[in-house]
Chains A and B, each alone.
Chain A
Amino acid sequence: MDILTMLKQLGGGMLVTVEIFFLTLILSLPLGLFISFARMKKNCFVQGGAKLYIGVMRGTPLMLQLIVVYFAPYYLFGMRINHYRFLAVILAFSLNYAAYFAEIYRSGIESMPIGQYEAAKVLGYNKVQTFVRIILPQVIKRILPSVTNEIITLVKDTSLAFVISITEMFTTAKQIEAAQTTILPLMMAGVFYFIFNFIVAGVMEYLEKKLGYYK
């Protein structure tokens, strides 16, 4: 097999990897915000629930979570869902990353000086306006470096999807490697992840610069 054919086959996997990456981000970033709200609630059931959720998601291997999410509908409810494989990957990744993002949001929100809330309150802003206009923009600036770390980890974690045989980049590379007995496709996959993360880091750096207009 020549390199071009290999690249073509890897290309399909690449697309799946990119899809997993973006869908996970789009779902886990807002979900994480809601979990962080629950985590900061005074009500001890809500707070306790959020704590337990975050604890389990961060305290068990993502690979195991993937397997559980994939097999749970069948073993628990006897359900067979069409095309569930991909959905399971997105679900497991989103649920897992939301827990990490929740803690990042919380650290950012709790680091905001109380004076910002008080200034907004005496100006008559309601709770939603205060959060959306005053607090959140500043929180985003504060947490951007930690978010960048998580996102870079996510790029690499997408390869874990191979445990439930999703044909993303890494799975495809493994398959070619096994069939052709050459580690070249794995090297190529490595280069792909590296370039992907290079782009991600560049975008995040650009965002950080954009938000650097104030201190």
Chain B
Amino acid sequence: MNLLEMNHIKKSFEGGLEVIKDISLCVKEGEVVSIIGPSGSGKSTLLRCAAMLEKIDSGELIYLGQKVAWNDSHFKSVYMSSSDKKKIEKYYGFVFQNFHLFPHFNVLKNVIDAPERVLKLPKKEAEKKGLALLEQLGLSDKKDAYPYQLSGGQQQRVSIARALAMDPKILFFDEPTSALDPELTGEVQKVIQSLAKERMTMIIVTHEMQFARKISDRIIFMERGKIQAEGTPEVIFGTGNERIREFIGRLQNE
């Protein structure tokens, strides 16, 4: 069964600009999918639609066979009730370009607050799990620090730990290293790579071509709100499609 299924998704913003034009996408358990494409092509919007941070206008959104959104007779999407949506939200985690850590919580609290409040884990258990995650991500010595005291790379690793603490079935990353200084992207990429090794299901929007090539089972090339090409890294990087070759070439030479 597909973990995530998006069928014929359409999304416009006020003003009528159609940002996602009939996109379909399936992700199986354990799959790592990268989305690449020029700026403004709708990559973030697609990811945000999957995470219910944006409402889709038309199409189906399905998690583990459960329909979260479906079309009514006028091909307008209707969503499940908000209490059911809350259950679906537990299936995924989201890592933002700008981290969005909670500045008033220290590192450990950032990681364990949601497990305690949302999953209702006992404090001891949540703490044990949070400390193990911080250890895994090399942040043990920072557990009492506040986000403003950390480097960008450390902050992003905390935000990954925060997402992992909820035991998500799938993780979404929206340009996880774009806000980082070049010398800090490596540490975050390494963490994502080790998650890929453990067969964590992930969708990653990225502009880092070598990174996408290394970790993805499948790469999706998006342009103007559509999936223009999709395939294994070998297929995408060896494509005869002029447009994609040019795009990849330009980013690699940067």
Interface positions of A (Cβ within 8 A of B): 113, 115-116, 118-119, 121-126, 129, 133-134, 137-138, 141, 213-215
Q: Which of B89, B98, B119, B146 contacts A122 (CB 8 A)?
A: B89
Minimum CB–CB distance for A69 against chain B, Å = 38
B103 within 8 A of A: yes
Q: How many residues of B contact A (CB 8 A)?
A: 27
Secondary structure at chain A's binding surface: helix, strand, loop or mixed?
helix
24 examples of A-B residue contacts, CB within 8 angstroms: A113-B100, A115-B96, A116-B102, A118-B94, A119-B96, A119-B101, A121-B53, A121-B89, A122-B89, A123-B93, A123-B162, A124-B114, A125-B117, A125-B118, A126-B86, A129-B118, A133-B113, A133-B117, A134-B102, A137-B104, A138-B103, A141-B104, A214-B103, A214-B147
In the complex, which residues of chain B have a beta carbon less than 8 angstroms from the beta carbon of A124?
86, 89-90, 114, 118-119, 166
Binding site for A on B (CB under 8 A): 51-53, 86, 89-90, 92-94, 96, 98, 100-104, 113-114, 117-119, 146-148, 162-163, 166
- Secondary structure of the B side of the interface? loop
B117 pairs with A129, CB closer than 8 A: yes
Q: Which residues of B contact A129 (CB under 8 A)?
A: 117-118
Given contacts A118-B96, A122-B93, 13 further A-B pairs with CB under 8 A are A113-B100, A118-B100, A119-B94, A119-B96, A119-B101, A122-B53, A123-B118, A123-B162, A124-B86, A134-B102, A137-B104, A214-B147, A214-B148
**Which residues of the partner chain A approach B117 to less than 8 Å between Cβ atoms?**
125, 129, 133
Q: Is the CB of B166 within 8 A of A123?
A: yes
B147 CB contacts on chain A under 8 angstroms: 214
Closest-CB distance, A103 to chain B (whole angstroms): 23
Contact status B114-A125, CB under 8 Å? yes
The interface centre, meaning the residue of B104, B113, B117 with most chain A CB atoms within 10 A of its CB, is: B104
A44 to B7, CA, bound (A): 36
A141 to B92, CA, bound (A): 31
Per the bound structure, the CA–CA distance linking A133 and B101 in Å amounts to 13
Most B CB contacts (10 A, CB to CB) among A113, A119, A121, A214 go to A119
The 7 A-B residue pairs with the shortest CB-CB distance, nearest first, are A115-B100, A119-B100, A123-B114, A122-B94, A215-B148, A124-B118, A214-B146
